[in-house]
Amino acid sequence: MFLLLNTYTVPTGTIDEALPRHRAWVERHFKDGHFVFGGRREPRIGGFVVAAGDSEAEVRGYLEDEPLFTEGLVTWEIFGLVAQLAGTPELRDQLNSFGSQTSLPSTFDDSPKSGGAEGGNPSVRVRVNGENREVSGSWTVEDLVQDMCETHGFDRTAVSASLDGDVLPPERWSVRPATGADIRIAVLTSGG
């Protein structure tokens, strides 16, 4: 996803005259599924759009016929975004429908609370390699990998992990899985 941020280069009265053309452009991109949400900056110095797209070049292409830009009334900046956390399951699901890999914060748990083994943290129920497991809400995928390696004597460098069907590189193992997460931990062995 990308944040598209525009800044007015002319007085707001001039912007107001061009807004109907700009809104038609915005609505077309929402209809085509390119935009997630957008609005006005406050104070009123420009606007913003969060856009779904696979590359900055693709998103930059959306701006080629944007009326405020083509008429020289705004400048646009593009920033790449990685949505990692959402405040509700509905928002997580919506962001994921745009290609994000968003999860809920570890503090969010819509299941009944039970005391975790570590410091009273609520536990979360996850599936590890198809087996239901209850772990401390403070545990990360890294902790699950470490526990599996210690329990079974696996070499950590030969382990691969996925969360809800997406392979996680080791640098992303710090994520805390939400209740109901499906975690797969595979051990690569020589000879297959």
Tens-place pLDDT, residues 146-187 = 877 887 777 888 888 888 778 888 888 887 776 667 777 777
Q: Are strands 166-168 and 159-163 parallel, antiparallel or unpaired?
A: antiparallel
CA distances from 53 to 2, 3, 82, 96 (A): 7, 11, 12, 13
- Domain boundaries 2-80, corresponding CATH code: 3.30.70.1060
Distance CA 118, CA 84 (A): 25
Domain assignments of the chain as residue spans, ordered by start: 2-80, 117-187
Tens-place pLDDT, residues 32-87 = 999 999 999 999 999 999 999 889 999 999 999 999 999 999 999 999 998 888 88
Q: Give the containing element (helix H, strand E) for 159.
A: strand 159-163
- Domain boundaries 117-187, corresponding CATH code: 3.10.20.90
pTM of the model: 0.56
